[in-house]
Amino acid sequence: MRIAIRVKKMNARVYHAWCPTLPGCSAQGATREDAKLHLKWAIRGYRACLDATVPKNMQEQVLTLSRTLVQPYPFGAPGPS
């Protein structure tokens, strides 16, 4: 299963990584690689929670629904210009 991720440098010491298709699934790290590694574990935890709480026959429907609910801006909608 391939999942798209995004990584953004927040400041001189922190990188923020998130997965747009899994709402709330994000991580931080001191380097880009750290953030990606932490996100990898966050995605595994997300999937484990999904496996534990959602019946197998409904998991794809839940993931499809969650993809439609994701905002296009990971940190909220931009303010007025």
What pLDDT, on the 0 to 100 scale, is given for residue 76?
45
Average per-residue pLDDT for the chain = 77
10 Å CB burial of residue 78 (0-12, 13-18, 19+) is exposed
Whether 65 shows a pLDDT value over 80: the answer reads no
**pLDDT at residue number 75:** 46
Of the candidates 28, 74, 27, the residue with the CA atom closest to the CA atom of residue 46: 27
Q: Which CATH number fits domain 6-69: 3.90.550, 3.10.450, 1.20.120, 3.30.160?
A: 3.30.160
Question: For 36-56, how does the pLDDT look when each residue is reduced to its tens digit (9 = 90+)?
Answer: 999 999 988 888 887 777 777
